Each structure stands twice: as structure tokens, then as C-alpha cells.
A and B are shown apart, each in its own frame.
Chain A
């Protein structure tokens, strides 16, 4: 039984001006409780997609729905969404606390619904929450931005490059808090160009490149679809010939001093068994199943 659909993007395209196509016929689905990484290199159309989802820009074609409501500018369903898009933005001459109050009140809801103190606690700003935002460091603004996105316990969190510009300790904190938030039932869609980040945080991934969908699925599915192994053997030439003929092997290429095998169903242990059975000696077997490989392969195939 699939959980309810939270985001449905269908055939989204966005063209800026005459020729620039930022997003090209992109479709994907996000379901409740998932942490979905929108993954792609800079300029892949990730931010444009998120902005369109939030009603900030009009798609050239295609439809989007959040929690069943078709998106148009300023639609009420956005009050159930928390977002952090292209960095935080605050009124510089007011305090962090005052910024969050005004942000919340602009939507016309009572301040008591906002869980303001809880959000400020999570942000860890402490006494700094009462200082003017213009005195904040980049990391403090980012944390206040998180606190703002979390006001009122949103059902959906949309985050654009949430760890950009944070130091390693802060990145770990963000990752932990995202997992914590998702465990509480909030669905999360985040964009990133950092593969390791998506791999460590997300349950699902949507790979985009040049505005087009490359692949979508669970992180495991996407990495498995391009699983590969690196082997070092005493006779690479013979190994290449042998492995290329095995079932479940897509391709074999020398990669001195070893060889790289793209798998299509075969396991690494099958490779080793075949090699040993043929009298070859195996020095090293390394899995290459990271999302990074998958990503580079997906993107590389389609690069011009």
C-alpha cells in the first residue's frame, strides 16, 4: 500500500525568455513520509522546479499539485508547506525573533499556532534570536531560515540546497534534524548537487540534468541500476575476456591496474567464483555502488 501523494509534478516545463529552457517535461511524485532528494549539477533546473512548486514562477507548461491542490501563485495550501529556497531572507533591521513573528502573522494566523519558541529552540540561536539579523553570520541566518520553515509544523518541507555554506558539524546537525523531522511524519523534498548528502539523508532520489528527468526511485534502486565492481587480477586480459561472457554483466573495461565491471544482475561473488574457477588470482574486489557513480554515469551519458 503506497502512502498518499504529497507532490505530483506532471510534464513541468519552464522556458525563460526566448531560448533558455530551465526545466523540460519533468514529472515525478513525492509520497508522504519520504525524504526525496532532487539531485543534479548546478543549472540542472532544481531551483526552478522548487520555485514553480511554490507558485513563485509560472510554468510554461505542465501541472503541479501539492496535497491534492493544483499550484498557482499564493494558493492557500502553501500555508501547510515550510520552505527554504536559495538561502534565507530576512528583514535586516529587525531581530530574528521579530522576523519570525512577522513572517507568521503575514499569513493571518494567530502567533500561538506557530510554535515559535520551539522553532527557536531547534535553531539553537539562544539569546542571539533577539539581536538584529544584520549582525548574524551566514550559519546563523541559515538556522533561522530553518526555524522559519519549521514554524507551525508543516506537512511538507521544501529545502533548496539546505547544507550549502555550512561547516561539517552543522551539516551533520542538519542531517540529523531532517531525519528527526521526517520521523515525525513530515514529507521532505530537498535539492542538492552533493551526492553524498542525498545518499546519507534521502530515502528517494530524483536525478535531473539539463532540466530533464534522468531517473527516479529509491536511493537503493538508483544505485543498483548502475552497480559496478572494480577488480585487480593477475591477468587482466584473460579476465576481461572471461567476465564479458558471464550472464548479468553489462560491460567490462580495463582500468589499469585493474578492470571495471558494470553489473546487470550478477553479484561480485559470481565474478570472483568465475575468475577463480578459471585459474585466475584475484587480489582486490571493491564495490562501486555509490550514488556518485550512478550520478556520473546518468549525467555523463547525456552530456553533450
Chain B
């Protein structure tokens, strides 16, 4: 069933369009920094403070940072919100279910394949960013600075910085469990591809807005985006990993609860499409 589902998804134009976007965007980021040509300048997204031209790896880090709030959630929402909905729209879901394939197996296969495709597409972003960056700026160790000039400098070897970028990417992708959960649940409940994608992305937009309102600071730790950029601590001198730990727990809860609901809804629903 997994092989069958993979065969259906891999030939879709959509799959390859998303993959292409995930390659083009980091390329543009690398190009932007190259054309900026401000070799002495520093800076970076969030708490990051780099000399941008010191190493190609920095472009990989930037590509991940720029895309983690919107592009990567969109990629996950597109891939995971749609499989049941599009099968329902094609009218082929009923034939799959009377093949028969049990409903948990149908949902699990579709979920598994769509997550693998989303992870593969999203991982292209830091990978392409790093490769493009190396092309422009070479492969060198990196040094990062704290926001304050008095703070210490963090020096990372090539291997060390690549390992941290890998960890940061894994953390970001794991955080997407919340999108996967909500998009899957809405996709199963409504059989509407647009609604499920919009709910996955909407979850991020709404919680990003709430997360930015200081008056709501009490609920901030409950929001799925709150710990999204906790990985930047990996590149900050003296950065703590505690927030990443909380982020893993938050993502697991935001993912598992709606997914369990989705399986329950799908098992009980009358298939009328």
C-alpha cells in the first residue's frame, strides 16, 4: 500500500513544483547575499549575527531560518493535507476502501508517504542553500557573535557547523508535526484539499500573530510556533538548548493529538464521495 501511494504521489506535477520552489528559493537567498557584496557586513535573521560571507554554510542556515516560519509550513500543509481529499475528489477513495484496504492502513500509508515527501522537499532548502553558499563563498569554519559586542564569540569547525545545521533542520522538520496533525485532521474531516491546506498554514499564521502580542505572554508557550526558532540557539554563543527540548514536546503534542483524532474520524465516517 505504501508503494502504491508513493507511485501515485511521485508522478504528480504538484510534487515536483514544490520541490523546484524549495531549490530556487535558497538559490535566490545565496544570490542576494552575493549581489549585496557587503563583505564586511554582519547580521542575520532572529538572534543570529553572522559575517555573511565567511562561509557557504551560513547561507544554508539563513535559508532554513527564512523559510521555517512560512515556506516550510506551506510545504507540509500542501503534502499532508491533501492525500485523502484528492482521492475523494477523484472518486477513487471508495474503490481503495472496498479493495479492501482497512481505513487505518489507508490513512497511515498516505500520511507516511506525504510526510516523507514533505521532509524531502523541505530538506532541499538548507541543503541547496549550503551548496549554493559553498559555490559563492567556499567552505570555511564559521564564527558567530552575540548581539552585544561584549559577548563572546562562538567558533565552529566545518564539521561542527554542518552538524549543527543538520540538527537545526531536523528540529525544524519535527516542529512541523503540528501542521501535519491539523492539516490531516481537517483533510479527513472535510475531504476538502483547500480547507486542509489553509488550516495547516492558518494555524501558523494565527499563532504567530498571537505569539507576537505581549499581552498574551501567558499562552505563548502553548502556541505551535513559539519554539519554532529555538534552534538558533545552536549558533548563539552560550545558547541554551532548553527551549528546543520544550519545542520537541510541544510539537509532539500538537501533532499526536490531532492525528489520533484524524484516525478516529476516518474510521467512523460514512464515505459518501
Contacts and interface: CB of A to CB of B under 8 A. Distances in A.
B107 to A, nearest CB: 12
Interface residues of B, number: 27
Interface in B244-273: 267-268, 270-272
B219 interface: no
A79 to B, nearest CB: 6
A52 to B, nearest CB: 9
Contacts of A55: 97-98, 100
A65 to B, nearest CB: 15
Interface in B65-115: 90-103
Contacts, number: 86
- Please report whether the interface of chain A is mostly helix, strand, loop or mixed according to DSSP: loop
A91 B12 CA distance: 10
Contact of A90 (B12, B92, B98, B101): B92
B112 to A, nearest CB: 14
B269 to A, nearest CB: 9
A256 interface: no
Contact of A78 (B8, B99, B268): B99
A102 B100 contact: no
Interface in A54-104: 54-58, 73-76, 78-79, 81, 83, 85-94, 98-99, 102-103
Interface residues of A, number: 34
Nearest to A133: B90
A270 to B, nearest CB: 51
A87 B91 CA distance: 8
Interface string A255-283: 00000000000000000000000000000
Contacts of B91: 86-90
A148 interface: yes
B98 A91 contact: no
A56 B93 CA distance: 10
Contact of B99 (A16, A99, A103): A103
Contacts of A58: 268, 270
A73 B267 contact: yes
B218 interface: no
A89 B90 CA distance: 6
Contact of B98 (A83, A88, A94, A99): A83
B13 to A, nearest CB: 7
A156 to B, nearest CB: 12
A105 B98 contact: no
A93 B7 CA distance: 11
Contacts of A108: 1
Nearest to A145: B95
A207 B7 CA distance: 43
Contact of A73 (B4, B93, B96, B97): B97
A94 B265 CA distance: 29
Interface string B1-38: 10110011001110000000000000000000000000
11 contacts: A56-B94, A56-B97, A57-B271, A74-B103, A78-B98, A90-B90, A91-B92, A103-B95, A105-B3, A106-B4, A108-B1
Interface of A: 16, 51, 54-58, 73-76, 78-79, 81, 83, 85-94, 98-99, 102-103, 105-108, 148
Interface of B: 1, 3-4, 7-8, 11-13, 90-103, 267-268, 270-272
